[in-house]
Amino acid sequence: MAALRKSILLLLLTGYTMFAAGPFVWVAMMSLRTTTEIHHDHFGFPDPAHWNKYPDAWFNSNYATYFANSTQIVVAAVILVTLIGAMAAHCLARYRFRLNRVIYFVLFSTIIFPPQITIISLFQILVQYGLYNSKIGLMLVYVAIQLPLTIYILESFFARIPSDLFDAARMDGYSDWEIFWKVAFPIALPAITTTVILNFILLWNEFLFAVVLITEEANRTLPLGIQRFIGDTQEDIGMIATGLMIAIIPVIVIYAFFSEKLIQGMTAGAVK
Amino acid sequence: MAVVSLKDLTKIYDRGHAPAADKVSLEIGDGEFMVLLGPSGCGKTTTLRMVAGLESITAGELSIDGAVMNAIPAKDRDIAMVFQSYALYPHMSVKNNLAFGLRRRSVSRSEIERRVVSVAETLELTPFLQRKPHALSGGQRQRVALGRAIVRDPKVFLFDEPLSNLDAALRVSTRSEIASLHRRLGATMIYVTHDQVEAMTLGTRICIMNGGRVMQVGSPLDVYHQPVNTFVAGFLGNPPMNLLPATVTDAPGGCTLAIGETRLEVPGTRMPAHSPGADLTFGIRPENVRLGEAPGAGFATLAGTVTQIEALGAETIITAGLPNVAAPLTARVAGDGGPGVGDRVGFAVDLGAAHVFGPDGRAVTQS
Ligand SMILES: Nc1ncnc2c1ncn2[C@@H]1O[C@H](COP(=O)(O)OP(=O)(O)OP(=O)(O)O)[C@@H](O)[C@H]1O
Ligand SMILES: [Mg+2]
């Protein structure tokens, strides 16, 4: 009975894995084939495998630059979002002051606006401040768009830390600033890790703001790099696949390293 | 050396609401163990937190060793506090929990190490120093919380119901641990509880609070034997003092009371003259009520019908209804056996131990 159940479960999981991983495997295979080969047989195996497409994309199609740009912008944005978000969440969760809930609600309500609404005014603002077409400009926009969700996730976590802990730390002689760093931040680490991964993945793949706010080749990010292979009349499917793989690899690495922490963070509320 | 003095300490959390602590005045001597006792919500924690510096003081004055502390932040008051929830830092090992408070106080590393090791030794925490709090039992966590206070060697210790999360057996042993701690350190301690037994056994003095106000301050036995009002009388003791409504009859001298249909003459030393017709409260502890007729002068007989018997082995708690009296009468008699429910029996009341409270609830007993 147990064996039967187990095999059914295994079957279901295998089916789901194939369903979820299928497109990924397909792109991975295409990344090693030329566009002509792909047009002949959409689902063929990479035989022979054109490994040289990777260095080709990296060196000849400017992917090294895109990769560096993406890394700089996203890493900086994630660090800023995490620091500002954690501090704001701690403040909203812990301190009683007038308008606390109003600020919280206003911050959170910005989530409901679709990005298309804000993008025109953002464009204007960036042009006026001379930040249009710059990495710093895009980075600041990323910080701004990810901040509400980050604060929302972290606030509920910080609010669950018993206030006695902060009182104990105050009796132990620590200032509010030190209490944030030595008590609140380490305790909230699982939740903070969750937001780091979430923000990293979302921003790494971000296209809309990047395509509007960056036009200069030297400042393009990876999702824009893929656009390069889409011409007016023709698409270089093979190189698009290679570019996608280059873009995806860091996400997979990060996820593989942090997935345990991520699950911990998401279930932290459920366990206690 | 630490004398903690509270002068009309008041806390109002939200404007328009009743104060959580209302003009609390208290002088806690050096090395004294003061217990704040009272029902839930009476402002014990609020008072303690004002002393700790965790809560701002709305009005009044707090001083330690003569220095006013109202505006001094918690960290500079040299006070340690043990929380009901223990409040151990979950991300730190026991050792770091103990050392955390010392790291901010310009204590050298070797001195921190020495103190942590010695405190861990006395509290039998040495085997757990590297563990995180979640891997400890409730009792061990409690000891870490105590250790965290001791290791700081503060002027004043504050405890907010530190034993309420422990099971009965552990509570008794930790209670005596705290008592011996106080004897050994000789430090000033303020201890909040709503457990009478803790208050009676630990306290040098007890401060009984109700509705944010101090009702009575005194040694445990003083407070037990000379309650100043009906609240204190009815709060202390298990079962608490019988409080029976009584009227002064117009007998000469005015110290004859009518309780239901019974008249009894309270000795003048227990009760000053009162004008006839006044509504008073007659208080008598269950242990001063015996079964049977009054054995002689100084006793009165109250007859009633037994409504409940609680046999506890060594003693029996008998509750009886008295005719035309709103409150029941409880007697605490030795041994088991005796009357059954529904029996009509006489109770001999020791008038020498009686208390009389005026219409305002205050004691009029002369002692
Ligand atoms: N932060 C707060 N804001 C508003 N009111 C509060 C706050 N803390 C306590 N109170 C109120 O103050 C009163 C006294 O509370 P306090 O915690 O001092 O009671 P306590 O004697 O410690 O009770 P317990 O035995 O249940 O712990 C209560 O009526 C409570 O509702
Ligand atoms: Mg309390």
Statement: residue A236 has pLDDT above 90: no
Q: What angle do helix axes B94-103 and B109-122 make, rounded to 10 degrees?
A: 130
pLDDT of residue B252: 62
Q: Is residue B90 within 8 Å of B121, Cβ to Cβ?
A: no
Region B105-128: mean pLDDT is 91
Q: Give chain A positions within 8 Å (CB) of B100.
A: 169, 172, 182
pLDDT of residue B358: 86
pLDDT of residue A83: 96
Examine residue A9 and state whether it is found in any structural domain, yes or no. no
In which domain, by residue range, is B128 found?
Answer: 4-234
Question: Which of B52, B53, B85 is nearest residue A162 as measured by Cβ atoms?
Answer: B85
> Atom 22, ligand 1: which residue's CA is nearest?
B45
pLDDT of residue A271: 36
Flag if B85 and A186 touch (Cβ within 8 Å): no
Examine residue B318 and state whether it is found in any structural domain, yes or no. yes
Q: Least CA distance to A173: which residue of chain B?
A: B75
Mean pLDDT is lowest, of A7-11, B74-78, B296-300, for B296-300
Statement: residue B216 has pLDDT above 70: yes
Is residue B217 located within the same domain as residue B264? Answer: no
pLDDT of residue B306: 93
Distance CA A40, CA B98 (A): 71
Examine residue A203 and state whether it is found in any structural domain, yes or no. yes
CATH number at residue A186: 1.10.3720.10
Examine residue B363 and state whether it is found in any structural domain, yes or no. no
Distance CA A47, CA A67 (A): 28
Statement: residue B336 has pLDDT above 50: yes
- Least Cα distance to B68 among B23, B5, B26 occurs for B5
Average per-residue pLDDT for chain A: 86
Is residue B29 located within the same domain as residue B108? Answer: yes
In which domain, by residue range, is A205 found?
Answer: 61-266
Statement: residue A102 has pLDDT above 80: yes
- Least Cα distance to A42 among A238, A257, A245, A260 occurs for A238
pLDDT tens column, A52-96: 888 887 887 788 888 899 999 999 999 999 999 999 999 999 998
Examine residue A83 and state whether it is found in any structural domain, yes or no. yes
Domain end point (choices B202, B234, B266): B234
Flag if B81 and A168 touch (Cβ within 8 Å): yes
pLDDT of residue A262: 65
Examine residue A89 and state whether it is found in any structural domain, yes or no. yes
Alpha-carbon separation of residue B207 from B198, B199, B283, B335 (angstroms): 13, 9, 21, 33
Question: Counting ligands in written order, which one lies closest to the CA of residue B42?
Answer: 1
Q: Give chain A positions within 8 Å (CB) of B75.
A: 170-175
Average per-residue pLDDT for chain B: 90
Question: Which of B85, B105, B148 is nearest residue A164 as measured by Cβ atoms?
Answer: B85
State the count of interchain CB pairs (< 8 A) between A and B: 57
Sort B132 into a burial class: Cβ within 10 Å, 0-12 / 13-18 / 19+: middle
pLDDT tens column, A161-203: 999 999 999 999 999 999 999 999 999 988 898 899 889 989 9
pLDDT tens column, B247-280: 888 666 557 888 888 888 877 666 666 677 778 8
Residue A114 pLDDT class (50, 70, 90 cuts): confident
Q: Give chain A positions within 8 Å (CB) of B101.
A: 171-173
In this complex, is the C-beta atom of B79 within 8 Å of any C-beta atom belonging to chain A? yes
Examine residue B353 and state whether it is found in any structural domain, yes or no. yes
Q: Give chain A positions within 8 Å (CB) of B116.
A: none
Statement: residue A270 has pLDDT above 50: no
pTM, 2 dp: 0.84
pLDDT of residue A14: 93
Distance CA B119, CA B150 (A): 7
Is residue B42 located within the same domain as residue B130? Answer: yes
Q: How many domains does chain A have?
A: 1
Distance CA B228, CA B233 (A): 8
Q: Is residue B3 within 8 Å of B28, Cβ to Cβ?
A: yes
Q: How far is the CA of B96 from the centre of ligand 2 (A)?
A: 27
Q: Is residue B59 within 8 Å of B8, Cβ to Cβ?
A: yes
Statement: residue A13 has pLDDT above 90: yes
Is residue B136 located within the same domain as residue B254? Answer: no
User: What phi and psi values does residue B157 have, to the nearest 5 degrees?
Assistant: -105, 135
Dihedral of CA atoms B21, B26, B31, B36 in degrees, nearest 10, equals -40
- Least Cα distance to B144 among B167, B162, B164, B168 occurs for B162
pLDDT tens column, A73-83: 999 999 999 99
Q: How many domains does chain B have?
A: 2
pLDDT of residue A269: 45
Region A12-37: mean pLDDT is 88
Q: Is residue B134 within 8 Å of B169, Cβ to Cβ?
A: no
Query: Any residues with Cβ below 6 Å from ligand 1, and which?
Result: B 13-14, 20, 38, 40-46, 194
Is residue B206 located within the same domain as residue B261? Answer: no
Q: In this structure, are strands B344-350 and B355-357 parallel, antiparallel, or unpaired?
A: unpaired
Examine residue A198 and state whether it is found in any structural domain, yes or no. yes
pLDDT of residue A241: 85
pLDDT tens column, A202-218: 999 888 898 888 888 88
Region A141-147: mean pLDDT is 93
How many alpha carbons fall within 13 Å on the CB side of residue B261?
6
pLDDT of residue B59: 94
Q: Is residue A244 within 8 Å of A201, Cβ to Cβ?
A: no
The neighbouring-strand residues paired with B310 are B317
Region B28-54: mean pLDDT is 94
